[in-house]
Amino acid sequence: VEHIARLVNLEAIPSTARRVMYWRDLGIGLGMQRGRGDDAGRALLRAERMVPGKLRLDPLARENVGHMLNRARANAGGQGLVRRARHVGVF
């Protein structure tokens, strides 16, 4: 994902909307890769800063952030803790 994204010359894209979609798509692509959550978050934040509120309405971006959050929760406490949390109704 990242090696292809580096080939894009953002200066040649005059449309802010298209640049936002570049950062959104890069964030989603990175978010699908394990261990790239921080990079994905930075790309999505960059898109959000360009047009505040845009990603809030974007189902793909929202779903991707939700998956990254679930993955971070699972990694933070391990699967056993996640199962116990669900069992006691924490989430």
**What tens digit of pLDDT does each residue of 13-32 get?**
999 999 999 999 999 999 88
| Residues 30-41 pLDDT 10s | 988 888 888 999
The string over 6-42, giving b where at least 16 C-beta atoms fall within 10 Å of a residue's C-beta and e elsewhere, is: eeeeeeeeeeeeebbbbbbbbbbbbbeeeebbebbbe
Half-sphere exposure (Cβ direction) of 80: Cα atoms closer than 13 Å: 0
- How many percent of the chain have pLDDT more than 90? 36
- What type of residue sits at position 33? Q
The answer to pTM > 0.85 is no
Say if CB 43 and CB 30 are below 8 A apart: yes
In angstroms, rounded to a whole number, what is the distance separating the alpha carbons of residues 74 and 79?
6
